[in-house]
């Protein structure tokens, strides 16, 4: 039996593919390469195409004996989603609908879904628990919540069991050194800060220093990409063993401000990393920190890289060795 990984050529997806291969799983990847990279797929079968292309997806299901899906494929940028909501509804919500229809036709009953901390919006309390209020402050989070809810109704009607993993901020790279983060254009804080250290940008912008946090900049919970990958394998195992549908947060439970991330990056890289305060970015909640107690208890998940220094050092190893990402190879 094979695992279908949608978005498996992307940042987190490629790390999950690596972990599946390391475990000896058969892997089938679907990616339209709008963000992903062929070189990031370390094994298995890669189908280049779009989730929303019914004929293409029917062929993928027909040609492979798929018993579970891990669904990463989506657009996922908070800032962009506030400028182009249609893109997010079309790719995320409609794309997921297309995938679920194909799974249903093929009789595939398990899906692990990439959800996000952005489903919560501005939290009522931190750390955030899975039963806390979900009131997204950006279109991206709204579409992810809609996707989660859609999957639940496919469970009710068709018995498609799901584990929805609400990750907080992914960072870092695989310890083998072959894969890491390479988005174009890049908009995530950690790779942008490291691009400054590499001399590729003159400074890092701090989007807002008037938030209700200790130093005024936004607080996030950074989680290593390989720890995220591990959680997907555990979630898939649970579904294969007949586990019920469920939602889990994935984070380290520790918040770091934008200014702290820059400071730690200065220590890791030894570079001065100039920073400039700029206006707030639309849609950003002030603080997002996870309680991942449920994932630890029920999935047996234990993140191995819980220090921000280690996460940034792992990202730095990738960026300093691959300053042009996959394109520079």
The one of ligand NAD, ligand UPG, none whose footprint includes residue 95, by CB under 5 to 8 A per kind, is ligand NAD
* Beta carbons of 151 and 162 less than 8 angstroms apart: yes
Distance CA 107, CA 92 (A): 22
The residue (of 49 and 277) whose beta carbon lies closer to ligand NAD is: 49
Q: What mask of x and - would describe binding to ligand NAD in positions 284 to 323, judged by CB under 6 A? A: ----------------------------------------
Q: What is the DSSP letter of 279?
A: P
Q: Is 189 in the site for ligand UPG (CB under 6 A)?
A: yes
The residue (of 44 and 95) whose beta carbon lies closer to ligand NAD is: 95
**SS3 label, residue 41:** coil
The residue (of 74 and 258) whose beta carbon lies closer to ligand NAD is: 74
- For residues 301, 306, 312, 314, the Cα torsion angle rounded to the nearest 10 degrees is -50
Q: Which among 56-64, 110-118, 240-248, 297-305 is the span making contact with ligand UPG, rule CB under 6 A?
A: 110-118
Residue 237 CB neighbours (<10 A):
14
Touching ligand NAD, residues 162-201 (CB under 6 A): 167, 169-170, 183
Minimum distance between the CB of residue 278 and ligand UPG, rounded to whole angstroms? Answer: 8
Q: Is 275 in the site for ligand UPG (CB under 6 A)?
A: no
Q: Is 225 in the site for ligand UPG (CB under 6 A)?
A: no
The one of ligand UPG, ligand NAD, none whose footprint includes residue 64, by CB under 5 to 8 A per kind, is none
The one of ligand UPG, ligand NAD, none whose footprint includes residue 78, by CB under 5 to 8 A per kind, is ligand UPG
| Residue of 47, 88, 120, 140 marked catalytic | 140
Q: For 126, phi and psi rounded to 5 degrees?
A: -125, 150
Q: Work out which of 5, 41, 80, 95 binds ligand NAD, going by CB under 6 A.
A: 95
Q: Work out which of 152, 158, 188, 201 binds ligand UPG, going by CB under 6 A.
A: 188
**Annotated catalytic, 256?**
no
Q: Is 192 in the site for ligand UPG (CB under 6 A)?
A: yes
* Beta carbons of 255 and 219 less than 8 angstroms apart: yes
Q: Is 187 in the site for ligand UPG (CB under 6 A)?
A: yes
Question: Cis before residue 185, ω within 30 degrees of 0?
Answer: yes
CA distances from 229 to 13, 19, 260 (A): 8, 6, 25
Minimum distance between the CB of residue 75 and ligand NAD, rounded to whole angstroms? Answer: 6
Distance CA 82, CA 260 (A): 26
* Beta carbons of 316 and 197 less than 8 angstroms apart: yes
Q: What mask of x and - would describe binding to ligand UPG in positions 15 to 54, judged by CB under 6 A? A: ----------------------------------------
Q: Is 101 in the site for ligand NAD (CB under 6 A)?
A: no
Distance CA 147, CA 90 (A): 11
- Which is it for the CA torsion 38, 166, 155, 238, positive or negative? positive
Q: What is the DSSP letter of 39?
A: G
Element (DSSP H or E) covering residue 253? none
Distance CA 215, CA 154 (A): 44
Q: What mask of x and - would describe binding to ligand UPG in positions 66 to 85, judged by CB under 6 A? A: ----------xxx-------
Minimum distance between the CB of residue 190 and ligand NAD, rounded to whole angstroms? Answer: 9
Distance CA 145, CA 180 (A): 27
CA distances from 232 to 113, 162, 164, 329 (A): 9, 11, 10, 29
Q: Is 36 in the site for ligand NAD (CB under 6 A)?
A: yes
Judged by the rule CB under 6 A, the positions of this chain that interact with ligand UPG are 76-78, 116-118, 168-169, 187-189, 192, 204-207, 218, 220, 258, 281, 284, 288
């Amino acid at each position: 039996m094979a695992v279908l990984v949608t978005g498996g050529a992307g940042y987190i997806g490629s790390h999950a593919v690596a972990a599946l291969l390391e475990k000896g799983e058969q892997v089938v990847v679907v990616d339209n390469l709008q963000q992903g990279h062929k070189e990031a797929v370390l094994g298995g079968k890669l189908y280049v195409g779009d989730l929303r292309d019914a004929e293409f997806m029917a062929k993928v299901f027909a040609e492979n004996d798929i018993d579970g899906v891990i669904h990463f494929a989506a657009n996922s940028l908070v800032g962009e989603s506030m400028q182009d909501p249609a893109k997010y509804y079309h790719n995320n919500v409609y794309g997921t609908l297309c995938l679920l229809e194909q799974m249903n036709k093929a009789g595939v009953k398990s899906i692990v879904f990439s959800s996000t901390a952005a489903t919560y919006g501005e939290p009522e309390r931190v750390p955030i628990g899975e039963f806390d209020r979900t009131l997204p402050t950006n279109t991206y989070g709204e579409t992810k919540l809609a996707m989660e809810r859609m999957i639940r109704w496919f469970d009710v009607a068709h018995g498609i069991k799901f584990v929805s993993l609400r990750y907080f901020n992914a960072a870092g790279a695989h310890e083998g050194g072959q894969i890491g983060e390479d988005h174009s254009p890049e908009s995530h804080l950690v790779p942008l800060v490291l691009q400054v250290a590499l001399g590729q940008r003159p400074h890092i912008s701090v989007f807002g220093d008037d938030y209700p946090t200790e130093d005024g900049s936004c607080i996030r919970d950074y989680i290593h990409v390989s720890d995220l990958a591990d959680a997907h394998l555990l979630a898939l195992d649970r579904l294969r063993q007949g586990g019920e549908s469920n939602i889990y947060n994935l984070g380290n439970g520790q918040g770091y401000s934008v200014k702290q991330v820059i400071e730690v990056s200065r220590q890791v890289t030894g570079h001065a990393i100039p920073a400039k305060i700029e206006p707030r970015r639309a849609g950003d909640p002030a603080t997002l920190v996870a309680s991942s107690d449920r994932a630890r208890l029920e999935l047996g998940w234990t993140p191995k890289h819980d220090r921000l220094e280690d996460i940034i050092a792992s990202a730095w190893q990738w960026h300093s060795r691959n300053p042009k990402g996959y394109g520079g190879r």
